[in-house]
Amino acid sequence: MKTYKVKGLLTGEGFSSNVCVRTDDNGIISSIDTNSEDLDAQQLNVYALPGFQNAHSHAFQYAMAGLAERHATNQTPDDFWSWREAMYQLALTISPDDLENIAAMLYAEMLRHGYTNVAEFHYVHHDKAGAKYANLSEMGERLVAAAKRVGIGITLVPIFYQKGGFGKAPTAGQRRFISKDLESYLELLSASEKSTQLYEHANLAIGIHSMRGVEPSVIAELAKDGPQNSPFHIHISEQLKETEDSIAYLGKRPVEWMLENVEMNDRFHFVHATHLTDAETDGIAKSGANVVLCPTTEGNLGDGIFPLRRFQDQGGKWSIGTDSHIGINPFEELRLLDYGQRLISHKRNTFYSKEQGDSGLYAYEQVTSAGRKAMNNYSKEYFKVGDYFNAVLIDANAPLIASSSLDNLASTILYCTDASMQYGTISHGKLIVKNGRHQEEDRIRANFVKTMHALGSRR
């Protein structure tokens, strides 16, 4: 058993002061007491927020973060599609060992920044020649092993990737991704489920790469007849060209087609959904489906800006992810999301509703609730007896934090903190990041650097 005493614990209504959180040997909360004087508690001069949910990750892409920013001056400026080719080259080179070491470093960094769970949108399934491994989930199993090694919760989302574009055969650069039909994907899904059983904090979700990546009629079939008790993730409407190609192939925009052909609810998670009409925006919100926004990646790739204000006005729910991992700090994701909306609306009140006017509290509620749903966790309370204790810890001595009232604290933390103010992270009851360092940081970093040198991708 373990007891932590924190200066403040965030609830849906704000911070409670001087709280003791007791956990059992498995890291599950056994009691939460205010103004307790437990002399055996580990005293932490911190404010505790619910651990962030990273609802969209491509772990292998961490190996190329920052490498796509050098451009030939005598060529047409590149875009998402040229970046994609560079990404394919990396995907074709990594081994299972490489992937595990890259993911372990990434996941340790996620923990350092306050993420305690990650939805891994995983599509590098086969060997370098495109042949299936003896264990269909060899690469997915390495991601689970990496998560277990560093102590983060993982929702493995093995991705169905079938086509090279609307009505197009897959390309050679996509050979490690492909499941030729629904039966093949269901076999992969079954193998992936076995991989998640190797780690107590791992589970499974369904994933479609995109409407251009899987024949739309097959997407509808999987949504209707596939497992119904798992989250359903899909990239959609990220790029203008994708929307144009969808109209040419289907006579419909991607989200428009999904709304008309798939019965959606809150197990569906639309990643990016950047380019929407008003009707599509309203339709997603009214269906109960969630949107996963990845502001640093969407900004880096030049995707565009999601119509968040209208979506929220219709009751839409959203979470955040780090996608290509050009940024990993959840507070930075939220600030960029907010400021992008302010720049196009010329108004400051982005994170709000009729019920909640505190921007910080509103943002935490959105990313916690919808983010947990992406992991197949529908628990609504931030901290509850019977749930695992997952928390990001903010240093109470940081100047702006120390001088703020409890009423001002949520938004002060959201808008004014940087990584130096994040004391640590408790993941599934364990203080796994302390004083800004993961407990296995040196070993994880050494393996990562060795892998990067062997790949030669960062030279």
Give helix 240-250 / helix 254-261 axis angle, nearest 10°: 50
Q: Is 272 a catalytic residue?
A: yes
Nearest to residue 158, comparing CAs of 170, 167, 135? Answer: 135
Residue type (1 letter), 101 = N
Phi-psi region of 208 (alpha: psi -120 to 50; beta: other; left: phi over 0): beta
- Give 39: exposed, middle or buried? Use CB within 10 Å, 0-12, 13-18, 19+: exposed
Residue 427 Cα distances to 111, 165, 448, angstroms? 8, 39, 22
Beta bridge pairs of residue 434: 424, 437
Show the DSSP H helices in 151-215 as ranges: 182-196
Distance between CA 159 and CA 59 in Å, rounded? 13
Total Cβ atoms within 10 A of residue 33? 16
Beta-carbon contacts of residue 134 (< 8 Å; ≥ 6 apart): none
Q: What are phi and psi of 3, to 5 degrees?
A: -125, 130
Distance between CA 211 and CA 197 in Å, rounded? 30
Q: Is 25 a catalytic residue?
A: no
- Residue 11 gets which letter from DSSP? E
Helix, strand, coil fractions of the chain, as percent rounded to 5:
40, 25, 35
Nearest to residue 177, comparing CAs of 304, 91, 85? Answer: 91
Beta-carbon contacts of residue 355 (< 8 Å; ≥ 6 apart): none
Please tell me which residue in 282, 303, 323, 338 is annotated as part of the active site.
323
For the annotated catalytic residues, the residue numbers are 272, 323
